[in-house]
Chain A
Amino acid sequence: MQILSLIDWVVLSATLLAIVVYGTWQTRGSKNVQDYLKGGNTSKWWTIGLSVMATQASAITFLSTPGQAFNDGMGFVQFYFGLPIAMVVICMVFIPLYHRLNVYTAYEFLENRFDLKTRTLTAILFLIQRGLAAGITIFAPAIILSVVLGWDLLTLNIIIGVLVIIYTVSGGTRAVNVTQKHQMVVIFIGMLIAFFLIVDKLPQDITFSKALSIAGVSGKMEILDFSFDLNNRYTFWSGIIGGTFLMLSYFGTDQSQVQRYLSGKSVKEMQLGLIFNGLLKVPMQFFILLVGVMVFVFYQFNEAPMNFNPTATELVLDSEFSEEYINLQKEQQALFNDKQELIKSFITSENTEVSKHIALANKSNDSLRDKARELIDKASENQSKKVESNDKDYVFIHFILNNLPRGLIGLLLAVILSAAMSSTSSELNALGSTTTIDLYKRNTSEKTEEHMVKASKWFTFAWGIIAIGVACIANLAENLIQLVNIIGSIFYGNVLGIFLLAFFFKFVKGHAVFIAAIITQFIVFALYFLDLYQHINLPFLWLNFVGCAIVIATACTLQLITKNDTTITT
């Protein structure tokens, strides 16, 4: 295990502290709610664009995505193909409406369109889901960094959480936006330097084009998949169709994103900010995946560990399966030596026969890695110790720690922690705003501006503490990340359906929507448990779509049956 050098500590601490201190100092002293929750509506389009991107890109984006490309190639980029379409729809439909109604939260609009109970229900669904997710945004990178760096998990959770709480509570939306701008600059610079260093670390006779050819013969450059195979998660069609709906719900109805563009100076600035995101997101994801592919090429010339998770390797070597594991390692080494000859021959001739042999060698390597994973799982089960055998999240951080020069390791760690902080700050900001505006302000008597700013700060602080608490107990759960995704899927479809009803089904009124939302939530819960106890086969990701479809169908039917809705709508 490599310990960080002094220069790494200086770069890491200086980068993170500079962003936090500058953000806190620059945005201190908000006097009214508009200032605190909407950043005084002063944000320019580039601030909005960077802020929206920083909110979506969590630390896991920078830890997992290169590992995803290392294992499965560039196909994951298709997941983002619907994003630009969603941006256009939000610019045309959502932004003008939110702006015209001068709302602070997306859920406020629902009272205007439907009624108070629908607004409150949707806001609560958001708070449950996002409150848990904020904890996981802190926990997910902390667990990986604690494993590879030997840092204490609890301390790391608290440090990330407290740094975010300081500036988010102090400066509100403006602090989130200002810090995210700087965090994105650090992220872009760090990833660009990492990319050029990886390419530079390849053997002298390997040009960038040859590196791509080597990746190509092993199937890592299969970017587009036009098949209609439902078992294949990332295809062109799932990206365009499923991706559009997913991004529409995330950017259009999730307060952590809505709050970013509501801080815009004008409708034009908000629209430009989202268009900026629509233009840059796909190439940015392509670039992060390309970094992973280059790491793959790097390990064609340098020996890679059998499993990139050091705890998993330690566990299996300390078990009754150690001999089997060592044999697999020997087989991998022999395969690596054979591959060197093949690659040399491929570089000089680019012969198709040789390329087939390289592809076969890499397939054999993958199957050895699969067998190693099985051994790790068995060892983990026998010793009753929870360890992650899927090492996707550990590939890039392993490469960083073992191959990048001193100082740059600190910068890349700053990239990962900046990404964690930027998403968490948006989440806390949104949770605080929704609690203040949709629950507290709406259900209490008229309060002064000063009081509301104070209340917003306390709610944001409370959500920060809850997020740290969730991050600290996350390790106790069997698979909490999956649990949070499941909880998200259970509520998200219903929430999206309510918003789609608001925008596109003008004849449907509040009472029908509220009843439909309650019925839908029960049905979605029932479907989830039927799947859990294996009475039906419905993977949890489908609950998003099912929830959305059921709430729309039920609300329309109820409206048509009852017709005489007495709910006042404006």
Chain B
Amino acid sequence: MNKEKQHKQPWLKLYSIVLIANAIYFIMFYLIMQAF
């Protein structure tokens, strides 16, 4: 059990950044699509 806990990977800020960036891309694509 302890071994399992040791191996558990922490959530890095970078993961949030890449997912938020992806969401921003979607919003931008949506706005571009609406504009043209």
Spell out A's residues near B (CB within 8 Å): 74, 77, 81, 84-85, 87-88, 91-93, 96, 100, 212-213, 215-216, 221-224, 236, 271-272, 275, 278-279, 282-283, 286
Q: Give chain A residues whose Cβ lies under 8 Å from the Cβ of B29.
A: 74, 77, 223-224, 286
Q: Is the CB of B21 within 8 A of A279?
A: yes
9 nearest interchain CB pairs?
A216-B36, A221-B36, A223-B29, A278-B18, A84-B22, A212-B36, A88-B15, A92-B9, A223-B33
Q: Is the CB of B7 within 8 A of A96?
A: yes
Q: Give chain B residues whose Cβ lies under 8 Å from the Cβ of A222.
A: 33
CA distance A96 to B12 in the complex (A): 13
Q: Give chain A residues whose Cβ lies under 8 Å from the Cβ of B26.
A: 81, 224, 236
Who on chain B is nearest to A278 by CB? B18
Given B14, B32, B33, B36, which contacts A275 in the complex, CB threshold below 8 Å? B14
Q: Give chain B residues whose Cβ lies under 8 Å from the Cβ of A92.
A: 9, 11, 15
Q: Is the CB of B12 within 8 A of A271?
A: yes
CA distance A279 to B9 in the complex (A): 21
Contact (A282, B22) CB under 8 Å given A96-B9, A212-B36:
yes
Who on chain A is nearest to B25 by CB? A282
CA distance A252 to B10 in the complex (A): 19
Q: Give chain A residues whose Cβ lies under 8 Å from the Cβ of B19.
A: 84-85, 88
User: B28 → chain A, closest Cβ, in Å?
Assistant: 9
Chain B: number of interface residues, binned into ranges:
10 to 19
User: A327 → chain B, closest Cβ, in Å?
Assistant: 34
User: A347 → chain B, closest Cβ, in Å?
Assistant: 14
Offer 18 A-B interface pairs, CB within 8 angstroms, sorted by A.
A81-B26, A87-B18, A88-B19, A91-B14, A91-B15, A92-B15, A93-B9, A96-B7, A100-B7, A212-B36, A223-B29, A224-B30, A224-B33, A236-B26, A271-B12, A272-B14, A275-B14, A275-B15
CA distance A84 to B22 in the complex (A): 7
- Extra contacts, 11 of them, besides A212-B32, A221-B33 (Cβ < 8 A), are A84-B18, A84-B21, A88-B15, A92-B11, A223-B32, A223-B33, A271-B14, A275-B15, A275-B17, A275-B18, A286-B25
CA distance A278 to B23 in the complex (A): 12
Q: Give chain B residues whose Cβ lies under 8 Å from the Cβ of A215.
A: 36
User: B29 → chain A, closest Cβ, in Å?
Assistant: 4
Q: Give chain B residues whose Cβ lies under 8 Å from the Cβ of A96.
A: 7, 9
Q: Give chain B residues whose Cβ lies under 8 Å from the Cβ of A279.
A: 17-18, 21
Who on chain A is nearest to B14 by CB? A275
Q: Give chain A residues whose Cβ lies under 8 Å from the Cβ of B35.
A: 212, 216
Q: Give chain B residues whose Cβ lies under 8 Å from the Cβ of A74.
A: 29
User: B30 → chain A, closest Cβ, in Å?
Assistant: 6
CA distance A221 to B21 in the complex (A): 21
Q: Give chain B residues whose Cβ lies under 8 Å from the Cβ of A81.
A: 22, 26
Q: Give chain A residues whose Cβ lies under 8 Å from the Cβ of B32.
A: 212, 221, 223
Who on chain B is nearest to A282 by CB? B25
Who on chain B is nearest to A277 by CB? B18
CA distance A286 to B35 in the complex (A): 16
CA distance A224 to B26 in the complex (A): 8
Who on chain A is nearest to B31 by CB? A223
User: A243 → chain B, closest Cβ, in Å?
Assistant: 11
Q: Give chain A residues whose Cβ lies under 8 Å from the Cβ of B25.
A: 282-283, 286
CA distance A216 to B15 in the complex (A): 34
CA distance A275 to B19 in the complex (A): 10
User: A49 → chain B, closest Cβ, in Å?
Assistant: 12
User: A92 → chain B, closest Cβ, in Å?
Assistant: 5
User: A284 → chain B, closest Cβ, in Å?
Assistant: 11
CA distance A87 to B22 in the complex (A): 12
CA distance A271 to B35 in the complex (A): 36
Q: Give chain B residues whose Cβ lies under 8 Å from the Cβ of A224.
A: 26, 29-30, 33
Q: Give chain A residues whose Cβ lies under 8 Å from the Cβ of B21.
A: 84, 279
Q: Give chain B residues whose Cβ lies under 8 Å from the Cβ of A223.
A: 29-30, 32-33
CA distance A212 to B11 in the complex (A): 40
User: B20 → chain A, closest Cβ, in Å?
Assistant: 10
CA distance A496 to B22 in the complex (A): 25
Q: Give chain A residues whose Cβ lies under 8 Å from the Cβ of B14.
A: 91, 271-272, 275
CA distance A87 to B14 in the complex (A): 11
Who on chain B is nearest to A95 by CB? B9
CA distance A282 to B25 in the complex (A): 8
Who on chain B is nearest to A268 by CB? B12
User: B15 → chain A, closest Cβ, in Å?
Assistant: 5
Tell which of B7, B18, B19, B35 has the most Cβ of chain A within 10 Å: B18
Q: Give chain B residues whose Cβ lies under 8 Å from the Cβ of A272.
A: 14
CA distance A215 to B26 in the complex (A): 20
CA distance A282 to B19 in the complex (A): 12
User: A473 → chain B, closest Cβ, in Å?
Assistant: 42
User: A282 → chain B, closest Cβ, in Å?
Assistant: 5
CA distance A77 to B30 in the complex (A): 12
Who on chain A is nearest to B30 by CB? A224
User: A178 → chain B, closest Cβ, in Å?
Assistant: 25
CA distance A279 to B14 in the complex (A): 10
Who on chain B is nearest to A92 by CB? B9
CA distance A275 to B18 in the complex (A): 7
